[in-house]
């Protein structure tokens, strides 16, 4: 999950952890790219954060099982 809203990250992390998902969180795109070392099943990403265009392009090349485009970026 990538978002600059710390409270949202905390809430979503708790929810998905309780559902037995492995969760990786990042507060910006650069941190996300440093942490992604596998092809995740899903990425929850706030595309409206600053300097995200390169990150969105890089993430779009990953072999994710689920891709949901809410921002028209990918």
pTM of the full structure: 0.69
Closest to 31 (Cα-Cα) out of 74, 1, 67, 62: 1
| Percentage, residues of the chain above pLDDT 70 | 66
pLDDT of residue 73: 46
Instruction: Tell me the C-alpha distance between 23 and 71, whole Å.
Output: 22
- pLDDT for 35 equals 83
Residue 74 — pLDDT band, cuts 50, 70, 90?
A: very low
The residue extents of the domains of the chain are: 6-60
| 3-state secondary structure at position 3 | coil
């Amino acid at each position: 999950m990538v978002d600059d809203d710390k409270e949202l990250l905390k809430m979503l992390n708790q929810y998905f952890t309780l559902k037995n998902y492995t969760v990786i969180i990042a507060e910006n795109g650069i941190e996300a790219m440093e942490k992604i070392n596998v092809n995740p099943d899903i990425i929850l990403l706030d595309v409206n954060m600053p300097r995200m265009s390169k990150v969105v392009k890089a993430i779009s090349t990953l072999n994710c099982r689920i891709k949901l485009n809410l921002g028209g970026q990918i």
